[in-house]
Structure 1
C-alpha cells in the first residue's frame, strides 16, 4: 500500500484548525486573497478535503465584543467561500459537503469553540445555526453560563440548566455537540443526555498522556456509544512529555481506535504555530498553555502541509486501508451527514 497514493485518494477531514482567526484579524479587503494565497496551498499540499473552522473569541473581546468578533469571523468565512468559489465551498449540510467534494473543491464547515457570545441566551444558537455553525462546544478552559471547562475539573461540575437545554436545542437543529474543552463532569452529563452523535473535535487520550484536556477511556467509549467521533489533537504537549514525533500522534490514534472502535476516531489538528507567531509578542514567550509549552511541535507537522505524515505513520504500523480511510476523514464525514459513509473516498484534488 502506497501511503501517499492512499492519502491523496482518501477523504482527509480536519475537525479543528484556527486559521479563520488569522483571516479575520486582517483587513476585510484582503480576506479572500490571503486565504487563497496562504492557506489554500497548505491545505491542498496536505491533501485536506474538509476543514472545520472554529470560531473562537479571544479574551480581549469578552464579554462586550464577543458577538461582534463572532460575526466578523463568520463573515470572513462566507467571504472566503464566495471569493474563492472555484476551489472552496462553505457547507451547511451533508449533501452540500458531498457536492463540494465531488466537484474537487475544499469543503469548509463552521464550528463554535466556546459560547461567550451566547451565555444563556440560547435563542442565539438558532441564529448561529442559520449562519452555518455545524458544531458547538460550550466553554474553553474556564467557566461559562453553560458548563465548566476542563481546567475546572476540581469543581466537579456538570452542565448548568442552560447547558442541559442547549444539548436538546442543538440536537434539534442538527448541530453537533462538541465535548472538547469540557470538564469531566460536563462530558459525562452530555453523554447521559445525548440522543445523537457527540464529537470531540480536538482531544487526545488521557491514558497515554495524563492531562485534563484529554479524554479518559470511559469517555472515549461513551462518545462511541452515541455514534460519535473523537478527533485526535496534534498539540504536542497533550500527546507526550517527551520530544514529540508523529509516532506519538499515531499512538493516540491507535489507542482511541482500540478503545472506542475504528468507526469513532478522526483528526483534529489544532495547529497553533502561526497563531502563536502572529499573536504572542516576544515578551510573552515561551508560551505555556495549561502547563505545557505551546511552541513545541511535531517536526514536519507544524501545519496542514504535513498531513501525509500521519497516513505514512498509520500504514507503517499496520493499519489497513479501510481503517486509514475512516481515520483520515470517513468517520468525521459520517457524523457531519456526508458520504460515502465507509471506506471509499473522493479524490482530494491534489495533483
Structure 2
C-alpha cells in the first residue's frame, strides 16, 4: 500500500524540521548492528545508504530532519544478571563507536545543552537509553555506572517483568512497583536519568508517576484508546502527564497503532517462532521468513495517517506540551506506509499540517518538548544531589536500612 503525501505540505514540513528537528525517543540501530554484523561497522557503514539492511543510516536521518536521537542500548529480557549488564555495556560501546567513527555527523549528548550544541554545529545529538531494568541486575550501583557511561533514560521493564516492576506484556506479579522499584525511580531522579514508562504495565506507570519527582518519558508508546494494545498508554495515565511534566512519544510500530494489525502480528510471531527465530529478529534470514509469511498472508498496513490519529488523541488528552515522537526504527520488522524508515518524518509532519496543526504546536512535538523534558530532569537532579546521598538499598531489603536513610 502506497502512502501519497501532499507535496506542498511535505515541503512545508521539511522547512519546519530545518528549524525544529525531530528528537526521536527510540531507535534500535545498535542491536541491529549487533545481530547483523556483530558490531563490525565496516560491514554496515551507516555513512552510506543501508536501506537493504536497516531502517537507519546517516543520509536518511538527515533527509528525515532528525536533530537528536535516543539510541536504545537494548538487550533482550531473557538475559539476566551479569550477562544482561555485559551486553548493555557492549551496546553502549557500539553507540560510542558510532560517534567516534562519524564525528562530523554525530555528537554524544549528555545534557539538553549538549543537544543544543550539537544542533548548532550541524551534528545529530546522540543520547543513550537503556531498555529494561534487567540491564542493572537489581543493583543501584550498576544504575549509577550506566549513568556515568552516558545513559539518560532507562525503561523500567522490557517485555518481561523484572523482580521490582511489572511489564505490560507479562503476568502481574508486583502489581506495579515494589519498595525496591520505588527506590530505583527515586535514584534515577537523583541522578538525572529519565524514568521511561514504555513497556511497563499501567499499574507500574501509575506507581512511577506517584513516586517520581522528575518528569517521566514514554520513549515509544501510543494511545491505548485508539489501539487497544497493552504496550500503549491508557487515557487516565495520559491525563496525569501535565502535572508531572512528562512527555509521551508516539511510536510507529504497526501492531501498536493499527487495531487490525494485532491479530495478524500474533500469527506472524508464531510463524517466526516455528522457524526458530525471535519475532524481534531483524536479520536478513528473519526478514526473508517475515516476507514469505506476508506474501502468503497480506498484512493490514498502517500509514502515517494512522500514527497521526494517535497524536491527535494524545494531544487532546495530555496536551500539546506533553507529546513527542519515538519511531522504534530497526526494532520492528514492519513500518507504516509513508514512514518506512528514518527519512519519513516529513510525511508525518505533513499529515499533521494537513489536519490543521500549527507550526508552533509541531515545533513542540518535534523538538521543544523533549528539550524541556531533559532540562526538567536535570533541574530536579541538581536539587536532589545537593541534599540526598546515593541509595544503598538492596532488593533483599524490604525497607531501607538505617544507613540508607537520608
Pick the TM interval, shorter chain: 0.7 to 0.9
How far, CA to CA, are the matches of 1:36 and 1:67 in structure 2? 29
User: Which residue in 1 is equivalent to 2:60?
Assistant: 42
User: Which residue in 2 is equivalent to 1:126?
Assistant: 144
- TM-score normalised over the length of structure 1: 0.85
Superposition deviation, residue 331 in structure 1: 0.7
User: Which residue in 1 is equivalent to 2:22?
Assistant: 12
Superposition deviation, residue 153 in structure 1: 5.8
Count of matched residue pairs: 318
1:30 to 26, 29, 41: 41
User: Which residue in 1 is equivalent to 2:359?
Assistant: 321
- Mark the runs of 5 or more structure 1 residues left unpaired by the alignment: 277-293, 339-351
**Could you tell me whether the CA contact under 8 Å between 2:160 and 2:170 is conserved in 1?**
yes
1:82 to 76, 84, 100: 100
Superposition deviation, residue 237 in structure 1: 1.2
How far, CA to CA, are the matches of 2:40 and 2:207 in structure 1? 44
Three-state SS of the structure 1 residue aligned to 2:139 is coil
After superposition, give the CA deviation of every residue in 1:271-305 in whole Å (9 maximum; x if it has no partner): 24xx56xxxxxxxxxxxxxxxxx54x311212101
Superposition deviation, residue 63 in structure 1: 4.3
**Could you tell me whether the CA contact under 8 Å between 2:77 and 2:134 is conserved in 1?**
no
How far, CA to CA, are the matches of 1:61 and 1:153 in structure 2? 18
Are 1:255 and 2:320 matched, yes or no?
no
User: Which residue in 1 is equivalent to 2:280?
Assistant: none
Distance 1:78 1:162, change over 3 A: same
**Could you tell me whether the CA contact under 8 Å between 1:232 and 1:265 is conserved in 2?**
yes
Distance 1:149 1:186, change over 3 A: same
After superposition, give the CA deviation of every residue in 1:111-136 in whole Å (9 maximum; x if it has no partner): 01002231321111110000000011
Distance 1:59 1:181, change over 3 A: closer
User: Which residue in 2 is equivalent to 1:266?
Assistant: 324
Superposition deviation, residue 222 in structure 1: 1.5
Distance 1:194 1:304, change over 3 A: same
Distance 1:36 1:185, change over 3 A: same
CA RMSD of aligned residues (A): 2.0
After superposition, give the CA deviation of every residue in 1:38-68 in whole Å (9 maximum; x if it has no partner): 4111211111110001111125644452122
Are 1:309 and 2:367 matched, yes or no?
no
Superposition deviation, residue 107 in structure 1: 0.3
Superposition deviation, residue 6 in structure 1: 1.5
Between 1:177-186 and 1:220-229, the stretch displaced more is 220-229
Q: How do residues 50-89 of structure 1 correspond to structure 2 at under 5 angstroms? A: 50-59=68-77, 61-89=79-107
Superposition deviation, residue 28 in structure 1: 4.4
Are 1:206 and 2:224 matched, yes or no?
yes
User: Which residue in 2 is equivalent to 1:348?
Assistant: none
Superposition deviation, residue 35 in structure 1: 3.0
After superposition, give the CA deviation of every residue in 1:256-282 in whole Å (9 maximum; x if it has no partner): 11110100000010124xx56xxxxxx
Distance 1:211 1:29, change over 3 A: closer
How far, CA to CA, are the matches of 2:172 and 2:148 in structure 1? 36
How far, CA to CA, are the matches of 1:131 and 1:31 in structure 2? 24
How far, CA to CA, are the matches of 1:128 and 1:59 in structure 2? 17
1:298 to 336, 339, 347: 336
- Mark the runs of 5 or more structure 2 residues left unpaired by the alignment: 1-8, 51-56, 261-300, 377-406
User: Which residue in 2 is equivalent to 1:245?
Assistant: 303
- TM-score normalised over the length of structure 2: 0.74
Distance 1:67 1:7, change over 3 A: same
Are 1:195 and 2:213 matched, yes or no?
yes
Distance 1:145 1:119, change over 3 A: farther
